[in-house]
Amino acid sequence: MKNGIKIIFASAVLMLALFGCQKMNKPPLGDYPQDSNPPDGPLKFYAAFDGSTTNSLMNAVDSIKANFPSDNPLASVAGVRGKGIQGASKKFIKYPSFNSWVGSSSSFSISVWFKKNGQTLNNAGGNGPEHIFSLRGSDGNYHWSNAVMFLFLEGNNTSCAIKCMVVSPSNAADPNSSATDKWFEWAGGEAISGLVNDQWRHMVLVYDANTSGMTLYIDGVANSNVKTWGGHGAIRLAGAKVGEFRVGRGPRNDGDGDGEGGWLQSSFKGQMDQFRLYSKALTAAEVQTLFTGKM
């Protein structure tokens, strides 16, 4: 009898061990889903504008660090994917920061979807640029534009210029050192036709510190005119000089001297979606993924 009990007990232990092993089985390490943007990854700021609540701040939250805007007066509309925002004269979204993007981006990429119908206009209704975003200076002494960086469209559906200005201190370790600026622009004979045709368009600007060059992508296709900042290399934006992080307006206010018709005051009056800032130079394949996925 004792031997029988021992056999039953041993069998039970073996069965528990077998079932226990089955429950503990794990897939190989490589089978685990990988985070497309790991902690402190290259995607530093991402506003999908997908919120559908009555809280306008929640509708424009940055998904990377739950960074809520301090002000969002823009209406929510149908976007290229989910919801987007409707720009308006003299209105814009203001953020406390773009996370660590400003200080960490020796190379960088800017990705945005937009929809704009016809001629770009200033805030007084005349022909002028419309700013996608800007880094407004904390004082008026750092640069004549009172900006650290801005990006805008200017023109009509026959010929629309894209212009991005970057201000860089001469000494990366000292934001108070003298600043130089560079205009990366596709204008004149290089302006884009069919860009503001009331359809969603995808734009990516990629600056590569290794080549000191900026490549423009429209709807996943690289523009052949690559703009270079000869030998400049890494771009170190002076984060300490940024007073406001703006989506949808230039770096100046109406009271800054140029009035509503000033080109540095102008806001974006079309629609915008999927605003992303990377601290790396995206590859052509990565840009294509953003375009095809409407990301």
Tokens of 13: 């232990």
Could you tell me whether strands 83-86 and 93-95 are parallel, antiparallel, or unpaired per DSSP bridges?
unpaired
Domain coordinates of the chain in residue numbers?
43-292
Model pLDDT, residue 37: 78
CB 248 within 8 A of CB 270: no
Examine the pLDDT at 242 and tell me if it is beyond 60.
yes
Helix (H, G, I), strand (E, B), or coil: what is residue 116?
Answer: coil
* Cα 133 versus chain centre, distance: 9
The pTM of the full predicted model, rounded to 2 decimals, is: 0.86
Question: Per-residue pLDDT averaged across 183-210, rounded?
Answer: 98
Choice among 81-85, 125-129, 252-256 with the minimum mean pLDDT: 252-256
Examine the pLDDT at 120 and tell me if it is beyond 60.
yes
CA of 174: how far to CAs of 37, 101, 150, 179, in Å? 30, 18, 21, 10
Examine the pLDDT at 24 and tell me if it is beyond 70.
no
CB 63 within 8 A of CB 250: no
Starting at the earlier edge strand, list the strands of the sheet with 160-169.
Answer: 93-95, 242-247, 130-137, 147-155, 160-169, 179-186
- Distance from C-alpha of 279 to C-alpha of 110, rounded to nearest angstrom: 9
Choice among 61-75, 167-181, 188-202, 266-280 with the minimum mean pLDDT: 167-181
DSSP state of 137: E
Domain 43-292 has CATH 3.90.1170.30: no
Tokens of 180: 């130089």
In degrees, rounded to 5, the angle at the alpha carbon of residue 157 between the alpha carbons of residues 163 and 253 is: 45
> Residue 284 contacts by C-beta under 8 Å, 6 or more apart in sequence?
217, 222
Model pLDDT, residue 211: 97
DSSP state of 58: G
Residue (of 183, 171, 108, 122) closest to 147 by Cα position:
183
Higher pLDDT, 215 or 171: 215
pLDDT band of 54, cuts 50, 70, 90? confident
The alpha carbon dihedral of 224, 119, 147, 245 has a sign of: negative
Q: Where are the alpha helices (DSSP H) in 112-190?
A: none
Question: Per-residue pLDDT averaged across 37-62, rounded?
Answer: 89
3-state secondary structure 237-289: CCHHHEEEEEECECCCCHHHCCCCCCCCCCECCCEEEEEEEECCCCCHHHHHH
Residue (of 149, 226, 148) closest to 186 by Cα position:
226
